[in-house]
Amino acid sequence: MPTTTRAAVLWGIGQDWQIEEIELDDPGPGDVLVRMQVAGMCHSDEHSVTGDLPLPLPTIGGHEGAGIVEAVGPGVSSVAPGDHVAVSFVPSCGRCPSCAAGRQFLCDDGAKLFDIGMISDGRIAHRCKGEPIGRFAQVGTFSERVLASEHSVVKVEPDLPLDAVALVSCGVGTGFGAVTERAGTRPGDIVAVIGVGGIGINAVQGAKIAGAKMVIAIDPVEFKRDEAKKLGATHAFASIDDALAAVPELTWGQLCDRVLLCAGIVQGDMIEPAINLVAKGGTLVVVGLAPMMASEVQLNLFMLAMMNKEVKGTIFGSTNPRAAIPNLLSMYRNGVLHIDELITKRYRLEQVNEGYRDLDEGRNIRGVIDFR
Q: How far apart are CA 281 and CA 120, in angstroms?
A: 44
Percent of the chain whose predicted confidence (pLDDT) is above 90: 97
Q: Is the pLDDT at 2 greater than 90, yes or no?
A: no
Q: Is the pLDDT at 62 greater than 70, yes or no?
A: yes
What DSSP string describes 311-369? EEE-SGGG--HHHHHHHHHHHHHTTSS--GGGEEEEE-GGGHHHHHHHHHTT--SEEEE
Average pLDDT, integer, range 309-328? 97
- pLDDT at 257 (0 to 100): 98
What's the fold here for domain 175-315?
Answer: Rossmann fold (3.40.50)
- pLDDT at 116 (0 to 100): 95
- pLDDT at 16 (0 to 100): 97
Q: How far apart are CA 316 and CA 295, in angstroms?
A: 22
Average pLDDT of the residues of the chain:
96
CATH 3.40.50.720 segments of the chain: 175-315
- pLDDT at 1 (0 to 100): 59
- Phi, psi for 284 (deg, rounded to 5): -110, 125
Q: How far apart are CA 251 and CA 254, in angstroms?
A: 5
Beta pairing partners, 65: 39, 87
- pLDDT at 230 (0 to 100): 97
- pLDDT at 3 (0 to 100): 85
Q: How far apart are CA 241 and CA 261, in angstroms?
A: 14
Domain 3-169+339-370 indexed as CATH 1.10.10.10: no
CATH 3.90.180.10 segments of the chain: 3-169+339-370
pLDDT tens sequence across 71-123: 999 999 999 999 999 999 999 999 999 999 999 999 999 999 999 999 999 99
